[in-house]
Amino acid sequence: MSNEATTDGTAAGTDTTAGTIASYIDHTLLKPEASEAEVLKVCAEAAEYHFKSVCVNPIWVKTVKTALKGSGVLTCSVIGFPLGATPSDVKAFEARGAVLDGADEIDMVINIAAARANDKGALVDDIRAVAESVHAGGAILKVIIETALLEDAQKVLACEAAVEAGADFVKTSTGFNGGGATVEDVALMRRTVGPGLGVKASGGVRSLADAQAMIAAGATRIGASSGIAIVKGEQGSSAY
Protein backbone atom coordinates (compact mmCIF):
# COMPACT_ATOMS: atom_id res chain seq x y z
CA MET A 1 0.00 0.00 0.00
CA SER A 2 1.28 3.45 -0.87
CA ASN A 3 2.01 6.01 1.83
CA GLU A 4 1.61 8.99 -0.51
CA ALA A 5 -0.23 11.79 1.28
CA THR A 6 -3.47 13.11 -0.16
CA THR A 7 -4.10 16.78 -0.88
CA ASP A 8 -5.37 17.51 2.63
CA GLY A 9 -2.44 15.71 4.20
CA THR A 10 -4.10 12.49 5.27
CA ALA A 11 -2.09 9.38 4.52
CA ALA A 12 -3.32 6.73 2.13
CA GLY A 13 -1.37 4.06 3.97
CA THR A 14 1.16 3.38 6.69
CA ASP A 15 4.27 2.20 4.88
CA THR A 16 6.95 4.01 6.88
CA THR A 17 10.19 2.18 6.16
CA ALA A 18 13.35 4.19 5.59
CA GLY A 19 12.90 3.75 1.85
CA THR A 20 9.38 5.17 1.73
CA ILE A 21 9.17 7.72 4.53
CA ALA A 22 10.65 10.58 2.49
CA SER A 23 7.22 11.54 1.12
CA TYR A 24 6.14 12.50 4.66
CA ILE A 25 9.04 14.89 5.25
CA ASP A 26 9.16 18.67 4.93
CA HIS A 27 12.93 19.19 4.59
CA THR A 28 13.44 22.28 6.70
CA LEU A 29 15.90 25.16 6.95
CA LEU A 30 14.59 27.99 9.12
CA LYS A 31 17.64 29.34 10.91
CA PRO A 32 17.78 33.11 10.38
CA GLU A 33 21.42 33.09 9.30
CA ALA A 34 20.90 30.55 6.50
CA SER A 35 22.77 31.46 3.33
CA GLU A 36 21.70 31.04 -0.28
CA ALA A 37 24.23 28.25 -0.68
CA GLU A 38 22.70 26.42 2.29
CA VAL A 39 19.19 26.88 0.91
CA LEU A 40 20.23 25.52 -2.49
CA LYS A 41 21.92 22.55 -0.80
CA VAL A 42 18.67 21.71 1.00
CA CYS A 43 16.78 21.94 -2.30
CA ALA A 44 19.25 19.57 -3.97
CA GLU A 45 18.89 17.11 -1.09
CA ALA A 46 15.10 17.28 -1.27
CA ALA A 47 15.13 16.55 -5.00
CA GLU A 48 17.56 13.67 -4.51
CA TYR A 49 15.64 12.02 -1.69
CA HIS A 50 12.14 12.94 -2.95
CA PHE A 51 11.01 14.73 0.18
CA LYS A 52 7.51 16.18 0.23
CA SER A 53 8.60 19.81 0.46
CA VAL A 54 11.36 22.25 1.33
CA CYS A 55 10.33 24.63 4.11
CA VAL A 56 12.11 27.98 4.37
CA ASN A 57 11.63 31.54 5.55
CA PRO A 58 9.73 33.82 3.14
CA ILE A 59 12.81 35.56 1.73
CA TRP A 60 13.89 32.27 0.17
CA VAL A 61 10.61 31.20 -1.46
CA LYS A 62 11.51 32.42 -4.97
CA THR A 63 14.92 30.79 -4.74
CA VAL A 64 13.45 27.48 -3.63
CA LYS A 65 10.65 27.51 -6.19
CA THR A 66 13.18 27.99 -8.99
CA ALA A 67 15.59 25.39 -7.63
CA LEU A 68 12.85 22.77 -7.26
CA LYS A 69 11.28 23.27 -10.68
CA GLY A 70 10.50 19.90 -12.23
CA SER A 71 11.50 17.94 -9.12
CA GLY A 72 8.01 17.24 -7.81
CA VAL A 73 9.03 18.67 -4.43
CA LEU A 74 6.73 21.36 -3.02
CA THR A 75 7.78 24.79 -1.76
CA CYS A 76 6.71 25.62 1.81
CA SER A 77 7.16 28.78 3.87
CA VAL A 78 6.41 30.01 7.39
CA ILE A 79 4.31 33.00 8.44
CA GLY A 80 4.26 34.94 11.72
CA PHE A 81 7.29 32.88 12.57
CA PRO A 82 8.39 31.95 15.18
CA LEU A 83 6.29 33.91 17.72
CA GLY A 84 2.87 34.30 16.11
CA ALA A 85 2.60 37.67 17.83
CA THR A 86 1.82 39.83 14.81
CA PRO A 87 -1.65 41.10 13.81
CA SER A 88 -3.75 38.76 11.71
CA ASP A 89 -3.94 41.14 8.76
CA VAL A 90 -0.14 41.32 8.72
CA LYS A 91 0.07 37.52 8.73
CA ALA A 92 -2.45 37.39 5.86
CA PHE A 93 -0.40 39.93 3.88
CA GLU A 94 2.81 38.01 4.52
CA ALA A 95 1.15 34.75 3.48
CA ARG A 96 -0.23 36.30 0.30
CA GLY A 97 3.25 37.48 -0.66
CA ALA A 98 4.78 34.05 -0.04
CA VAL A 99 2.13 32.36 -2.18
CA LEU A 100 2.64 34.90 -4.97
CA ASP A 101 6.36 34.13 -4.77
CA GLY A 102 5.59 30.46 -5.35
CA ALA A 103 4.82 28.79 -2.01
CA ASP A 104 2.57 25.75 -2.35
CA GLU A 105 2.15 25.45 1.41
CA ILE A 106 2.15 27.90 4.30
CA ASP A 107 2.87 27.08 7.96
CA MET A 108 1.53 29.87 10.22
CA VAL A 109 2.03 30.41 13.94
CA ILE A 110 -1.17 31.13 15.85
CA ASN A 111 -1.82 33.89 18.37
CA ILE A 112 -0.39 31.87 21.25
CA ALA A 113 -1.57 34.37 23.85
CA ALA A 114 -5.15 33.88 22.67
CA ALA A 115 -4.80 30.13 23.04
CA ARG A 116 -3.45 30.49 26.56
CA ALA A 117 -6.35 32.84 27.37
CA ASN A 118 -8.82 30.25 26.01
CA ASP A 119 -10.08 32.82 23.50
CA LYS A 120 -11.33 30.60 20.71
CA GLY A 121 -12.94 33.44 18.81
CA ALA A 122 -9.65 35.29 18.51
CA LEU A 123 -7.92 32.12 17.35
CA VAL A 124 -10.54 31.44 14.68
CA ASP A 125 -10.28 35.02 13.41
CA ASP A 126 -6.47 34.83 13.31
CA ILE A 127 -6.36 31.54 11.44
CA ARG A 128 -9.24 32.34 9.09
CA ALA A 129 -7.60 35.55 7.90
CA VAL A 130 -4.54 33.60 6.81
CA ALA A 131 -6.52 30.62 5.50
CA GLU A 132 -8.54 32.84 3.19
CA SER A 133 -5.40 34.51 1.88
CA VAL A 134 -3.59 31.21 1.35
CA HIS A 135 -6.52 29.41 -0.24
CA ALA A 136 -7.18 32.32 -2.60
CA GLY A 137 -3.74 31.63 -4.05
CA GLY A 138 -4.36 27.90 -4.37
CA ALA A 139 -2.01 26.92 -1.53
CA ILE A 140 -2.69 24.98 1.67
CA LEU A 141 -2.38 26.10 5.28
CA LYS A 142 -0.75 24.35 8.23
CA VAL A 143 -1.41 25.88 11.64
CA ILE A 144 1.38 25.74 14.24
CA ILE A 145 -0.16 25.66 17.73
CA GLU A 146 3.17 25.57 19.64
CA THR A 147 2.31 22.69 21.95
CA ALA A 148 5.20 23.34 24.37
CA LEU A 149 3.52 26.56 25.51
CA LEU A 150 0.00 25.15 25.93
CA GLU A 151 -1.85 22.90 28.33
CA ASP A 152 -3.79 20.00 26.85
CA ALA A 153 -7.14 21.80 26.95
CA GLN A 154 -5.57 24.75 25.15
CA LYS A 155 -4.10 22.44 22.51
CA VAL A 156 -7.58 21.04 21.91
CA LEU A 157 -9.02 24.55 21.71
CA ALA A 158 -6.40 25.61 19.16
CA CYS A 159 -7.01 22.53 17.04
CA GLU A 160 -10.76 23.08 17.14
CA ALA A 161 -10.20 26.69 16.06
CA ALA A 162 -8.06 25.52 13.15
CA VAL A 163 -10.81 23.20 11.98
CA GLU A 164 -13.45 25.92 12.29
CA ALA A 165 -11.28 28.44 10.45
CA GLY A 166 -10.73 26.15 7.47
CA ALA A 167 -7.10 25.11 7.91
CA ASP A 168 -5.72 22.05 6.13
CA PHE A 169 -3.27 20.87 8.82
CA VAL A 170 -2.43 21.39 12.45
CA LYS A 171 1.24 21.32 13.42
CA THR A 172 2.92 20.82 16.76
CA SER A 173 5.79 23.25 16.98
CA THR A 174 8.10 25.86 15.51
CA GLY A 175 11.13 24.29 17.14
CA PHE A 176 12.08 27.75 18.44
CA ASN A 177 9.98 28.00 21.62
CA GLY A 178 10.79 25.10 23.90
CA GLY A 179 9.98 21.45 23.34
CA GLY A 180 9.00 19.89 20.04
CA ALA A 181 6.66 17.13 18.95
CA THR A 182 5.63 14.31 21.27
CA VAL A 183 3.68 11.18 20.49
CA GLU A 184 1.11 12.21 23.10
CA ASP A 185 0.54 15.61 21.52
CA VAL A 186 0.25 14.17 18.02
CA ALA A 187 -2.32 11.64 19.23
CA LEU A 188 -4.28 14.36 21.02
CA MET A 189 -4.26 16.55 17.93
CA ARG A 190 -5.37 13.68 15.70
CA ARG A 191 -8.25 12.82 18.04
CA THR A 192 -9.32 16.46 18.06
CA VAL A 193 -9.25 17.18 14.33
CA GLY A 194 -10.47 13.77 13.20
CA PRO A 195 -9.47 12.18 9.89
CA GLY A 196 -10.14 15.18 7.68
CA LEU A 197 -7.10 17.33 8.50
CA GLY A 198 -3.41 16.65 8.26
CA VAL A 199 -1.28 16.58 11.42
CA LYS A 200 2.36 17.67 11.15
CA ALA A 201 4.85 16.64 13.81
CA SER A 202 7.83 18.98 14.01
CA GLY A 203 10.56 19.77 16.48
CA GLY A 204 12.93 17.09 17.68
CA VAL A 205 12.12 14.42 15.09
CA ARG A 206 15.65 13.23 14.37
CA SER A 207 15.51 9.51 13.57
CA LEU A 208 13.50 6.97 11.61
CA ALA A 209 12.14 5.60 14.88
CA ASP A 210 11.03 9.09 15.93
CA ALA A 211 9.25 9.62 12.61
CA GLN A 212 7.62 6.20 12.66
CA ALA A 213 6.31 6.81 16.19
CA MET A 214 4.79 10.15 15.16
CA ILE A 215 3.11 8.62 12.12
CA ALA A 216 1.76 5.73 14.19
CA ALA A 217 0.25 8.32 16.56
CA GLY A 218 -1.53 10.07 13.69
CA ALA A 219 0.95 12.37 11.97
CA THR A 220 0.67 12.67 8.20
CA ARG A 221 3.64 14.99 7.76
CA ILE A 222 7.01 15.34 9.48
CA GLY A 223 8.90 18.63 9.72
CA ALA A 224 12.61 18.03 10.20
CA SER A 225 16.04 19.29 9.31
CA SER A 226 17.32 15.75 9.90
CA GLY A 227 15.45 14.33 6.90
CA ILE A 228 18.48 12.66 5.37
CA ALA A 229 19.37 10.94 8.65
CA ILE A 230 15.76 9.79 8.96
CA VAL A 231 15.62 8.18 5.52
CA LYS A 232 19.04 6.60 6.06
CA GLY A 233 17.95 5.12 9.38
CA GLU A 234 20.55 7.21 11.24
CA GLN A 235 20.36 9.61 14.19
CA GLY A 236 20.19 13.31 13.31
CA SER A 237 21.80 15.94 15.49
CA SER A 238 19.79 19.04 14.57
CA ALA A 239 17.66 20.78 17.18
CA TYR A 240 14.73 20.91 14.75
- Residues known to be catalytic: 107, 171, 200
Look at residues 56, 51, 89 and name the one whose alpha carbon lies nearest to residue 72.
51
CA angle 131, 136, 139 (to 5 degrees): 70
Query: What is the C-alpha to C-alpha distance for residues 18 and 230, in angstroms, rounded to an integer?
Result: 7
Name which of 125, 61, 64 is nearest 96 in CA terms. Answer: 61
Alpha-carbon span 176 to 30, nearest angstrom: 10
Q: Specify the DSSP element, H or E, that contains 199.
A: strand 198-202
- Select from 182, 236, 35, 177 the least CA-distant residue to 43: 35
In what helix (H) or strand (E) does residue 144 lie, and over which residues does it extend?
Answer: strand 140-144
Are 148 and 179 a contacting pair, CB within 8 Å? yes
